[in-house]
Structure 1
Amino acid sequence: MINFLPQIYENELFYSVLARYRRMCGMVSKRALIEDLFGRHIFVSSIYFPQYIDSFVKCLPPTSELTAIEIIKNHTMFPFYTSFLSKEKTDFLFNIMQNGANGSKMTVEKYIGFSNSKVRKPNYLRYCPLCYKEDLEVLGESYWRTNHQIAGVHYCSKHHLLLKQSSVLSTGSGIDFICADEQVCDVELLKDDYPDNIKQLNLKYVHNAELLLETNFPRKELKYIIEFYIDRLREKGLASNNGNLYMKDVQERFLLNYPMEYLNLMQSDIDPDSPSNWLRLFVRNNNKNRTPLRHLLFLQFLGIRMDYLFQNKEVIGKKSVSIQHNPIFDIQERREKWLQLIEENPNANRSQLKEKGKGLHTWICKYDWDWYDRVTPKAALGREKAGTIDWYKRDEECLRLAKDAVESILHRKGKPVRVTPSSVRKILGFGSWFHNEKLVRTQQYLREAKEEIEDFRIRKIKRAIEDRIKQGEKLTVYKVQLHAGFGGNNQEVKNLIADVLEKEFNFPKC
């Protein structure tokens, strides 16, 4: 039984409430804390989508008026990430958060589609330095705000300042209950180098994201949302009357609206030449979940208010058009003309006959196909077989290309990539034939060039250290670990970084 609970602040993450409760109780054992809060030991794997909220409510004092509905809807990420899901899916996820997954390993994150999405949620809890400072002055303590943890939110809506990343992990199995205090937060402001148009675009996004978080909009089926988008594109002249999208024009307008720098910031960059970039797939009526971040980007591009999407009742989408074709010529007359064309061109194939009798060919194929197929000569010759592959010559060429690709990987700018046969093939843009064992020397080279995992880690660490030195940033094991993208809890990596700093950069070992 919980004898007391700290005052829950507006927009406070449920995780933050539990962290402050732990501090007030002085509990050291995480297991004891969980059993105290939920009446039994449960596995806590998510800050954003906690489960077994009903068990927590049952452990509250009898006089408490706090409900599971209030916690889930006002103090978790549930309202934001379910905004564009159907009512059925939303209710299903609400039940998981309220009662748990009943022994299933299915988490809310997996059901929503985080595991397959290229849009990742923040790995660390974030905060606004000015909000933090004001909290200390007014409340005597600070707390983790729900709206600061939304994917794509980079500015505080109240102070228009860049959010800072704390050292508190928000994902993974090592979740601990840590307060927003001087151990993990500070009042120093981040330098804002983003152009004003980037800032204004993100502040507009922040406004819409917070609206989703705060407003219980009626849920809509994905089919309705796609049809709504098609209707709005039609109004803008970016779709035909039948609802067929002018996708090239949509893409051009979208890229005019959003600078590529902003799309990179929002994990939604677009390759205009790729037929499968996310924007081209976004307005297709399939059954795959879309991240709310990209829904908001698309609505902002269309200039649509949030309430208009959810309160609107009628959509049209694509129209199916049925056209009845009736032949206006006499079939026998057309047949005679086609036979005459064949007779006048005895050595012509079908393609040549089509060229010579364009309108006639189209009419016959449309209204009298079976007859056309019987009387029209087919090509007499098949394609010549491709010549035999000279595998020795191909092996020699592939070996040269493989060596160039390895050099390219090792010296590429940006995030390091591990040297493996697959990464080499990907760089070259070749198909699975590149791994053919007939390419003897190439395959041997790929096996020898393959980078062991520890060697790759060392290369990532060295790159991170060199980057930080160039940028004049502080060198600590923890900072290098984060810069290299390893997260903060891997002791093996920490030891490796310490060794590299000592041996390669003459940095004293702690």
Structure 2
Amino acid sequence: MMNCFPVLYQDELFYSIAARYKRMCGIFSKKALYRDFCNTEERQIFMYLPLHIKALVGNLPYSTKITESYIINNHTMYPYLTSFLSNDRADIIYSEMLAGSKKNLLTYVGANSTNSRFDKHLKYCNQCYKEDLNKLGESYWRRIHQIPGVLFCKKHKSRLIESDVPTNNNVNDYFCADDVIGNSIITSNKDKSLFEFYELNIKYIEGVECLLNSKVQRKDNSFIIDYYLSKLREKKLASRSGSIYMKEFLKEFKEFYPASYLYSMKSYYDCDNANNWLRLFIRKDKKSKSVLRHILLMQFLGVDIKDVFKTNDVEHKKIVAVINKPRLDIGERKEQWLRIIKENPGATRRQLKDIGKGVYTYIYKYQKEWYHKVTPIYENIKPKGDIVDWRERDKKCLKIVRRVVVELLSKPEKPIRITKNKIRRECGITSYFKSEKLIKTHEYIDSVVEDIDTYRRRKIKWAIEEMNEKGIWVSVYKVHQYAGFGEVKDEVVRKMVEKIIGE
């Protein structure tokens, strides 16, 4: 049972509460802090989605009015990160936060992907810090300042400053805001970059505030996508049947948001890339989608976030029935077709079809027997093909293969082994790929294909790099599992992992 507990400040990050309690009680050991908070010496006070909240509330002084729900909804990132999840999934996360979990909850909510991660260090507003010292005698870390994409302090209209306190899940220590900021105080933020996008970012921040401070009625992903489609129709960017005019949509989104702002929000995209995030974002699938990008899209569509969650009905795809009424009767159609045949002697059926498309379609659909009776058949003799310039083809093929190999090696997901068949499939070259006349192409392929050991080493290094980036403890067993080798049975692989970890 705790004898004291800090006053909880408005929008204070749970990590900040733990840091102030540690300083208040003069605790030096992290394990002692964990025992006071969670009745366990295991690391459970994570930066954004802390665990064992039920145990913490049970340890608070008897006179406290602090509840589990109050802490989770007002001092953690739970309201923000679960806004666009199903009720079932959000309830699972809530339960895990109450009781404790072995899961990485940030990964579970989709906040550990490259474009959804929190910033690497805690951020603060210099003016807020000064006000806190004058009013409270201390300062604290604010939740909203840590949200991805929040670039400014809305209250003071100033750029946020990055501290030296890391935000990964492997929390090494708990630092009070005034202890950190006081040692590196900046009297004024002279960095004026991005101020031209201040109004855009303030609109985004208002959306974040809505998710943090309002208890929204969650909608499933299918409903949200239908809502977006209905708004795209209003902007003339989608058809009545629900088909999105993708080229115009991508172009207008980029015109609405300047490129440098999209870069700052980790949401820039290439319109020519068939797999850019905006194309994939409006698909109906079960993947967790970035909250930041939901807000960006709503801002572009000109909708209030509260309205999205208050809406119960949305216009789904409309089935549009088109009834074509022929302008000419069947006799006139036949006369037209006979005229086309007469005016194009020697033409093949394919050529006649191209010449009289509308007439052909109607005749073939309703008068197929008559069509075959009157339409002549001529063979389309193809001219003998040109002699292949294999030297030029080799150059082009080599260029394609080089590009494919670079793309395979630079993919962020688990490495794929570079083999001849894999290169061939990715290039889409089948008929002449194995030709011995592609000399330089095959020389290059032989130089880049991976034997099993080379591939294993690359996969191990990728796994270690990913684990370090996500704050996962690196051990032989964990690297073995993360890289996808299965159980640690292969002695060769185990020794290879040990050697690379030790490098």
- Please tell me the TM-score bracket, short chain as reference: 0.7 to 0.9
1:369-418 C-alpha deviation (Å, 9 max, x unpaired): 79979998697779999999959983899499969x99xxxxxxxxxxxx
Number of matched pairs: 434
| Alignment pair present for 1:320 and 2:322 | no
* Cross-structure match for 1:58: 58
Q: 2:185 aligns with which of 184, 187, 191?
A: 187
Tell me the TM-score normalised to structure 2 length. Answer: 0.72
Tell me, in whole angstroms, the C-alpha distance in 1 between the residues paired with 2:447 and 2:218: 55
The one-letter amino acid paired with 1:442 is: Y
The one-letter amino acid paired with 1:296 is: I
Tell me, in whole angstroms, the C-alpha distance in 2 between the residues paired with 1:72 and 1:263: 31
Indicate conservation of the 8 Å contact 1:421/1:446, yes or no: no
Q: 2:140 aligns with which of 128, 143, 155?
A: 143
Q: 2:444 aligns with which of 442, 445, 454?
A: 442
Tell me the TM-score normalised to structure 1 length. Answer: 0.71
Tell me, in whole angstroms, the C-alpha distance in 1 between the residues paired with 2:304 and 2:45: 35
The 5 Å alignment of 1:84-95 reads 84-95=84-95
SS of match in other structure, 1:167: strand
Indicate conservation of the 8 Å contact 1:232/1:302, yes or no: yes
Indicate conservation of the 8 Å contact 2:112/2:470, yes or no: no
Could you say if the C-alpha distance between residues 49 and 486 of structure 1 is closer, same or farther in structure 2, counting changes exceeding 3 Å?
closer
Could you say if the C-alpha distance between residues 46 and 90 of structure 1 is closer, same or farther in structure 2, counting changes exceeding 3 Å?
same
| More divergent stretch after superposition (178-187 vs 228-237) | 178-187
The one-letter amino acid paired with 1:236 is: K
* Cross-structure match for 1:171: 168
Tell me, in whole angstroms, the C-alpha distance in 2 between the residues paired with 1:139 and 1:368: 89
- Unaligned residue ranges in structure 1 (runs of 5+): 407-419, 423-429, 458-484, 491-510
Give 1:122 deviation, angstroms: 0.9
Indicate conservation of the 8 Å contact 1:83/1:219, yes or no: yes
1:208-267 C-alpha deviation (Å, 9 max, x unpaired): 211211111211122222222222222233333334333333233222221111111111
Tell me, in whole angstroms, the C-alpha distance in 1 between the residues paired with 2:471 and 2:107: 23
Indicate conservation of the 8 Å contact 1:15/1:47, yes or no: yes
1:420-448 C-alpha deviation (Å, 9 max, x unpaired): 998xxxxxxx8498x99974643576599
1:34-65 C-alpha deviation (Å, 9 max, x unpaired): 12211123343731111221122222233322
The 5 Å alignment of 1:70-109 reads 70-101=70-101, 103=102, 105=103, 107-109=104-106
SS of match in other structure, 1:181: helix
Tell me, in whole angstroms, the C-alpha distance in 2 between the residues paired with 1:374 and 1:282: 52
Tell me, in whole angstroms, the C-alpha distance in 1 between the residues paired with 2:445 and 2:235: 54
* Cross-structure match for 1:471: none
The one-letter amino acid paired with 1:286 is: D
SS of match in other structure, 1:318: coil
SS of match in other structure, 2:320: coil
Q: 1:162 aligns with which of 159, 163, 176?
A: 159
Tell me, in whole angstroms, the C-alpha distance in 1 between the residues paired with 2:371 and 2:14: 73
Could you say if the C-alpha distance between residues 488 and 344 of structure 1 is closer, same or farther in structure 2, counting changes exceeding 3 Å?
closer
SS of match in other structure, 2:158: coil
Tell me, in whole angstroms, the C-alpha distance in 1 between the residues paired with 2:251 and 2:395: 42
Could you say if the C-alpha distance between residues 221 and 488 of structure 1 is closer, same or farther in structure 2, counting changes exceeding 3 Å?
closer
SS of match in other structure, 1:276: coil
- Unaligned residue ranges in structure 2 (runs of 5+): 407-415, 419-425, 462-467, 474-503
Tell me, in whole angstroms, the C-alpha distance in 2 between the residues paired with 1:373 and 1:274: 45
Tell me, in whole angstroms, the C-alpha distance in 1 between the residues paired with 2:159 and 2:135: 22
* Cross-structure match for 2:290: 291
| More divergent stretch after superposition (4-13 vs 267-276) | 267-276
The one-letter amino acid paired with 2:298 is: L
Tell me, in whole angstroms, the C-alpha distance in 2 between the residues paired with 1:201 and 1:399: 42
| More divergent stretch after superposition (62-71 vs 238-247) | 238-247
SS of match in other structure, 1:118: coil
SS of match in other structure, 1:187: coil
| More divergent stretch after superposition (134-143 vs 348-357) | 348-357
Indicate conservation of the 8 Å contact 1:155/1:202, yes or no: yes
Give 1:273 deviation, angstroms: 2.5
Indicate conservation of the 8 Å contact 1:240/1:246, yes or no: yes
* Cross-structure match for 2:250: 251
Give 1:96 deviation, angstroms: 2.0
SS of match in other structure, 2:122: strand
The one-letter amino acid paired with 2:239 is: S
Give 1:88 deviation, angstroms: 2.5
The one-letter amino acid paired with 1:242 is: S
Indicate conservation of the 8 Å contact 1:80/1:213, yes or no: yes
Give 1:287 deviation, angstroms: 3.1
Give 1:344 deviation, angstroms: 9.5
Tell me, in whole angstroms, the C-alpha distance in 1 between the residues paired with 2:200 and 2:363: 57
Could you say if the C-alpha distance between residues 365 and 223 of structure 1 is closer, same or farther in structure 2, counting changes exceeding 3 Å?
farther
| Alignment pair present for 1:361 and 2:360 | yes
Tell me, in whole angstroms, the C-alpha distance in 2 between the residues paired with 1:488 and 1:288: 23
Could you say if the C-alpha distance between residues 443 and 229 of structure 1 is closer, same or farther in structure 2, counting changes exceeding 3 Å?
closer
Tell me, in whole angstroms, the C-alpha distance in 1 between the residues paired with 2:374 and 2:106: 62
* Cross-structure match for 1:482: none
Give 1:131 deviation, angstroms: 1.0
Give 1:365 deviation, angstroms: 4.6
* Cross-structure match for 2:67: 67
Q: CA RMSD in A?
A: 4.4
Tell me, in whole angstroms, the C-alpha distance in 1 between the residues paired with 2:118 and 2:369: 58
Tell me, in whole angstroms, the C-alpha distance in 2 between the residues paired with 1:237 and 1:9: 46
Tell me, in whole angstroms, the C-alpha distance in 1 between the residues paired with 2:256 and 2:281: 17
Give 1:356 deviation, angstroms: 3.8
Could you say if the C-alpha distance between residues 154 and 391 of structure 1 is closer, same or farther in structure 2, counting changes exceeding 3 Å?
same
The one-letter amino acid paired with 1:183 is: V
Tell me, in whole angstroms, the C-alpha distance in 2 between the residues paired with 1:267 and 1:108: 22
| More divergent stretch after superposition (251-260 vs 76-85) | 251-260
| More divergent stretch after superposition (16-25 vs 33-42) | 33-42
